[in-house]
Amino acid sequence: MSLFWIVIRRLAEIEERMATSKKVITRDEWEKRLNDVKIRKEDMNKLVMNFLVTEGYVEAAEKFRMESGTEPDIDLATISDRMAVKKAVQCGNVEDAIEKVNDLNPEILDTNPQLFFHLQQQRLIELIRNGKIEEALEFAQEELAPRGEENQSFLEELERTVSLLAFEDVSNCPVGELLDISQRLKTASEVNAAILTSQSHEKDPKLPSLLKMLIWAQNQLDEKAAYPRINDLSKATLEDPAV
């Protein structure tokens, strides 16, 4: 039984259960009720496609489309462009990423000062990472300082980034996380979201919302009943209620 089936049946089951008062529900009872809940395959496929498309897995989406017959809600060709940008940032090629974004849609960076600042900030971080200190300082002075003048929070972030230069051992300094791969991923994700929004696509896939809903619903039901819970989302196994 696929993970998705279980999770979604869960959700439907719990919502039914919410009305009754706190009681103990055995696993047998629970599974019986689960079996009664009907979920359509098409809906599941759409969820999967939505996830693949939003996250940018072009080839997987293409293959999934061929194998399941599910149509994506966005042109797969535009995904490749977006993915190229995301990848460039993840590899630290920020200048390349900026050029690609501007080719895709020049308005994105022109109307999104925060995103533009973060990309420029990432460029600065990459310069510092590569030991190009003089260039980094010149870059900070010429490109980032004017932005800092216009905006208090930009200034603070700029100061944090420049402070990397003050430390001998960057891996242990308070702003060390800026050099971490996670910072690149954060910036990449921000660009990805902006491109999706500009294409009038929702920037978040539906699947996480569904899982959040499950967790919330379980928490609500916890106040009213003891029942087999899903505690590990990745396994989605039912764990017996505490007696």
Partner 1 sequence: MPSATINKHRPSELLSRLASDEPELKVRALRELKNQIIGNPTKKLSFLKLGAVPAVAGILADSIDEVTDNNNCNGNTSNILVQSAAALGSFACGFDAGVQAVLDAGAFPNLLRLLANPNEKVIDAGARALRMIYQSKLAPKYDFLQQKNMDFLISLLNSEKENVSGLGASIITRSCETCLEQKALFDAGILRKLSGLLEGGSLSQRDASLESLATIFRNNPEVISKFAGPEIGRPLSSIIDLAKDRYPRTRLLACMCLIVIRNASPHFLQDIGIKTKIIHILLELLDDPGQVGDEAPFAFSSLIAQKEDLQKLALEANAIDKLHHHLKKGSLHPRRYKGILLALADMCSKLESCRSKFLSLQVLNLVADALTDHNAGVRTAACVCLKSVTRSIKNLSAGYFMNEIIVIPLVQLFLDPSTSVQVAALGAVSNIMVDFTTRKSIFVQCGGMKQLVQLAKSMESAVRSNALWALKNLVFQADNRLKEGVFSELTASLLSSLISDPEPSVQEQALALVRNLVDGCINLIELVFAEDGYILGAIGRQLQCASKAEIGIQGMYALCNVASGNEFHKEAVIQQLFTQMGDKNQSFVIKFLQSNDSQLRTATVWTIVNLTCPSSPGAPGRLEKLRNAGIISQIKNMVNDPCVDVKLRVRTVLGQSMAFGDN
Q: Which residues bind partner 1 (CB under 8 A)?
A: 92-93, 95-96, 98-99, 102, 106-107, 109-113, 116, 123, 126-127, 130, 132, 135-136, 138-139, 142-143, 146, 150, 152, 197, 200
Instruction: Say if CB 203 and CB 193 are below 8 A apart.
Output: yes
Closest by CA position to 6, among listed 229, 202, 158: 229
Nearer to partner 1, 7 or 162 (CB): 162
Nearer to partner 1, 60 or 210 (CB): 210
Residue appearing with tokens 């430390």: 167
- The continuous run of DSSP H or E covering 191 comes out as helix 181-198
Nearer to partner 1, 26 or 90 (CB): 90
Shortest separation between residue 118's beta carbon and partner 1, angstroms: 11
Shortest separation between residue 127's beta carbon and partner 1, angstroms: 6
Shortest separation between residue 116's beta carbon and partner 1, angstroms: 4
Nearer to partner 1, 8 or 98 (CB): 98
Shortest separation between residue 138's beta carbon and partner 1, angstroms: 6
User: Among the residues of 56-180, which ranges form H helices?
Assistant: 58-68, 76-90, 94-104, 107-110, 113-129, 133-139, 145-150, 152-162
Ramachandran bin of 24, using left for φ above 0, alpha for ψ from -120 to 50, beta for the remaining angles: beta
